Each structure stands twice: as C-alpha cells, then as structure tokens.
Amino acid sequence: MEKQPGSKNCFVCGRENDAGLKVTFYNDLEKQQVRAEVTVDEHFNGYPGFVHGGIVATLLDETSGRATLLDDKDNLMVTGRLDIKYLLPTPTGQPLTIVGWKVKGSRRHAHVAGEIRLADGTVTASCEATVIRPPGDFPKIWNWDGSAEGWKVYKD
C-alpha cells in the first residue's frame, strides 16, 4: 500500500503534535480505500475504556475525507457535512482499523464514507460525508503552505 502525506501539527496525523493521535494513512488502490491502523490511548476516552465520541467523529472525518487523495495527493477538500452512526462503543487500548472511500465525486466536491472496525471486523461507527473544495485558490486564501506545515510522506 502507498503511504499518504501527513503534516507536522495536525491533531490526527501530526508527527510533532504531542497531544495528537499520530495516525498514518495508506492508499489501498486495489480496494480504492484509505486505511489506517490505530490504537487509541485511554486519555482519549469518554467513559472508561471507550473512545470519546468526538474522537470517533474526528477519526471518521479525517479518514473518509482523505479518500479524495486516492487519485490525486493534492486534492485537499474540507468537510461540508458529516453524518455519523455510533453502532457500538469503540474501545480504547485495542487495535482499530479505519477505512474511508469515495462514493462519488469530482475535483470540486465528493460524497465519501468511512468505518471504524475492531480486529474481528466488527464495525463500531460509520459515517457519510460531503467534502468540498473551498472556493478560489485554497492555499493562497488561507495562507496555507503545505511545505511549511510539513505536508509530506513521512518515513516509518
């Protein structure tokens, strides 16, 4: 599988964010999915032993949105809508697989989806989202410079 770019300070993928999750994402081109493996530490729990719902939402948002990068690593979009189904409590301290995929879309907007799965394949939460390309020239409007933020593929 091909590794996706990450950044220095992103809460989800940031290599240098001490408070972050430090998730690494991969393109599974055969399945047309984005995949990540993560074990969420207990300091991200809601109830003891379970991942806080906001962290579950964050993981699904990031993973499903990254599906737009499968075809083009520079096709950055932002979430316009995120619908989450919390099916089962998601445990902390256990390996989880997060999967995202594009349902349909273009370079301007896309409908994406994602799931969080336990090691046995049980889905604990799922989402559907609409992601959009911000109007205008995204990097210039918000002074976003991918190189300054460390947006690159990091070595293991």
| H/E element, 34 | strand 33-39
User: Residue 41, Cα to own-chain centre: how many angstroms?
Assistant: 17
Residue 12: pLDDT above 90? Answer: yes
Q: Over 80: is that where the pLDDT of 95 sits? A: yes
Residue with tokens 């879309």: 105
Instruction: Tell me the domains of the chain and their CATH numbers.
Output: 2-141 (3.10.129.10)
pLDDT band for 133, please (50, 70, 90 cuts). confident
Q: Any idea which residue has 């301007």 for tokens?
A: 108
Q: Return all residues near 107 (Cβ < 8 A) that are at least 6 apart.
A: 72, 75, 133
Q: For residue 136, name the pLDDT band (cuts at 50, 70, 90).
A: low
Q: What is the mean pLDDT of residues 39-61?
A: 97
- For 95-111, the DSSP string reads EEEEEEEEEEE-SSEEE
Q: In terms of pTM, does the model score above 0.85? A: yes
**Per-residue pLDDT for 150 more than 90?**
no
- Mode of pairing for the β-strands spanning 78-86 and 26-28: unpaired
Residue type, 120: D
